[in-house]
Amino acid sequence: MKFPNDFLFGAASAAYQVEGAWDKDGKGLSNWDVFSKIPGKTFEGTNGDVAVDHYNRYKEDIKLMAEIGLESYRFSISWARILPNGKGKVNEKGIEFYSNLIDECLKYGIVPFVTLYHWDIPQALEEEGGWLNKEVVDHFVNYATICFKAFGDRVKHWITFNEVLCFAGSGYLQGAHPPGIYNDEKKYFQATHNVSVAHARTLLKYKELKQYGEIGISHVFSPAVSVDDLEENKLAAYHANQFDHAWYFHPAIKGEYPEYVMNILEENKWMPEITEEERTQIKEASKHLDFIGFNYYQPQRVLKNKEKVEKRQKTREECIGSPGNISFDGFFKSVKLDDKKYTKYGWEISPEGFLDGLRKFKEEYGDVKIYITENGLGDQDLIVEDEILDISRVKFIEAHLKSIKQAIKESINLKGYYVWSATDLLSWLNGYKKQYGLIYVDHKNNLDRKIKLSGRWYKQTIEERGENL
């Protein structure tokens, strides 16, 4: 079987992780510009001031992506580049940069797939309460509308938000991302609800503008599976899926929050303030959702937690995504298992868990169109005589594309796959050492680029439309 012709093979990035030029051409400060400079927050104090200088080298990067044969490039817009204070006057230089980037993609026939929010809120709005402040929702819709009007003639694929679970969980439960708050469930649920409303209103605005493209949201896809058949562990897995998936997928797809979670929020006094108008907006938007994006890296192996939960700020090591942590509410625990394979960074490698999760998703949510907006291997690549021999990454992508092929055979509505990431880039909490790219960036040598083995392998796979997988 070949992958269908309308299936997009792409790769992805995010503004803060690649652009650099943090204070160039009128860009305002973002929360990450500030947070990454607080001692101890990031790996060896790394930040995105320069990142991989995509802002200045985007032409070279897009050319290399074209050489790989990428059909689509997913990137994000930095809100503070468009609106330095998050609201008010538009920074024309910011519009110009993204306009040029889009044109450069189109020059090679690469479809731009644009994320409006990949975690970098303008610092001025963060200081006004960030996602806890409902006025920020208005500002977001305004920012999105500016982007639709400026780029919507050429961009026909939009993602409102990237991984709300990750930025809100890290920002309000673990203290590992800005605004660096921890153990504040009430704030976490209020922020996630406000983001759901921002997504809904932005989607409705987009439809109102009649630009005839598609719009969706990308979420963490990390299906929880019980370690065994014990009832208490199966309940732990159910609970994890309700909080980590249903709390996000339900409003976007079904237009309402899951009852199971709502009951627990009520019992614990964690219920966010939700107005009738917001409920209606969420419901209405769900009817027009075009697709859901999944960022899949690993499943979660869980069991009922019996340990006491310590109410404290998590260390960076506890927040980098490897299993071994207790959930925020103390209900379940994720664990490493002896019979599973793990990456150098301790993330499970499970193409089977991916396929299994996709099947379960279809059972629950039906035929929703899906893009895999991120999937990839974080590693420290082997370099031999200047060649980047990232064999493990080839194997990783190959195995996950096989799962997708099988899923398509089973009529799961998958329409695209984006390798995380196009070029090597900044990992939020792991610095530049943790590489994901199809294109190598040499930090010892002027940030020189070079296509890796995985890039060449991906090129061939795209040319064959995956027939030989």
Q: How far is the CB of 3 from ligand BGP (least distance, A)?
A: 24
Of 27 and 219, which has the nearer Cβ to ligand BGP?
Answer: 219
Contact by Cβ (8 Å): 144, 205: yes
Helix/strand/coil (H/E/C) assignment for every residue in the chain: CCCCCCCEEEEECCHHHHCCCCCCCCCCCEHHHHHCCCCCCCHHHCCCCCCCCHHHHHHHHHHHHHHHCCCEEEEECCHHHHCCCCCCCCCHHHHHHHHHHHHHHHHCCCEEEEEEECCCCEHHHHCCCHHHCHHHHHHHHHHHHHHHHHHCCCCCEEEEEECHHHHHHHHHCECCCCCCCECCHHHHHHHHHHHHHHHHHHHHHHHHCCCCCEEEEEEEECCEEECCCCHHHHHHHHHHHHHHHHHHHHHHHHCCCCHHHHHHHHHHCCCCCCCHHHHHHHHHHHCCCCEEEEEECCCEEEEECCCCCCCCCCCCHHHCCCCCCECCCCCEEECCCCCCCECCCCCECCHHHHHHHHHHHHHHHCCCCEEEEEECCCECCCEECCEECCHHHHHHHHHHHHHHHHHHHCCCCEEEEEEECCECCCECCCECCCECCCEEEECCCCCEEEECHHHHHHHHHHHCCCCCC
Q: Cis ω on the peptide bond leading into residue 421 (within 30° of 0)?
A: yes
- By rule CB under 6 A, what count of residues binds ligand BGP? 16
Q: Is 257 in the site for ligand BGP (CB under 6 A)?
A: no
Of 162 and 300, which has the nearer Cβ to ligand BGP?
Answer: 162
* Footprint (CB under 6 A) of ligand BGP, residues 112-141: none
From the list 162-170, 240-248, 388-396, 399-407, the region that binds ligand BGP by CB under 6 A is 162-170
Q: How far is the CB of 220 from ligand BGP (least distance, A)?
A: 7
Of 95 and 438, which has the nearer Cβ to ligand BGP?
Answer: 438
Q: How far is the CB of 25 from ligand BGP (least distance, A)?
A: 23
* Residue 318-357 contact track with ligand BGP, rule CB under 6 A, x = bound: --xx------------------------------------
Q: Is 14 in the site for ligand BGP (CB under 6 A)?
A: yes
Q: Is 378 in the site for ligand BGP (CB under 6 A)?
A: yes
Q: How far is the CB of 158 from ligand BGP (least distance, A)?
A: 16
Of 64 and 320, which has the nearer Cβ to ligand BGP?
Answer: 320
Annotation says 374 is catalytic: yes
Alpha-carbon dihedral of residues 284, 80, 422, 58, nearest 10 degrees?
A: 130
Q: How far is the CB of 449 from ligand BGP (least distance, A)?
A: 19
Q: Is 36 in the site for ligand BGP (CB under 6 A)?
A: no
Provide the token pair at 416.
Answer: 């695209």
Q: How far is the CB of 293 from ligand BGP (least distance, A)?
A: 10
Residue from the set 19, 120, 163, 214 that interacts with ligand BGP by CB under 6 A: 163
From the list 207-215, 278-286, 411-419, 426-434, the region that binds ligand BGP by CB under 6 A is 426-434
Q: How far apart are CA 178 and CA 123, in angstroms?
A: 10
Q: Is 169 in the site for ligand BGP (CB under 6 A)?
A: no
* Residue position matching structure tokens 């400026």: 150
Provide the token pair at 1.
Answer: 């079987």
Q: How far apart are CA 207 and CA 326, in angstroms?
A: 41
Q: Is 295 in the site for ligand BGP (CB under 6 A)?
A: yes
Q: How far is the CB of 77 from ligand BGP (least distance, A)?
A: 14
From the list 18-26, 64-72, 351-359, 427-435, the region that binds ligand BGP by CB under 6 A is 427-435
One-letter identity of residue 229? D
* Residue 203-232 contact track with ligand BGP, rule CB under 6 A, x = bound: ------------------------------
Q: How far is the CB of 347 from ligand BGP (least distance, A)?
A: 8
From the list 79-87, 255-263, 331-339, 422-430, the region that binds ligand BGP by CB under 6 A is 422-430
Residue from the set 87, 187, 239, 434 that interacts with ligand BGP by CB under 6 A: 434
Residue from the set 126, 374, 379, 390 that interacts with ligand BGP by CB under 6 A: 374
Q: Is 61 in the site for ligand BGP (CB under 6 A)?
A: no
Residue from the set 30, 162, 190, 196 that interacts with ligand BGP by CB under 6 A: 162
Interface ranges with ligand BGP (CB under 6 A): 14, 17, 162-163, 166, 295, 320-321, 374, 378, 420, 427-430, 434
Q: Which residues are catalytic?
A: 163, 374
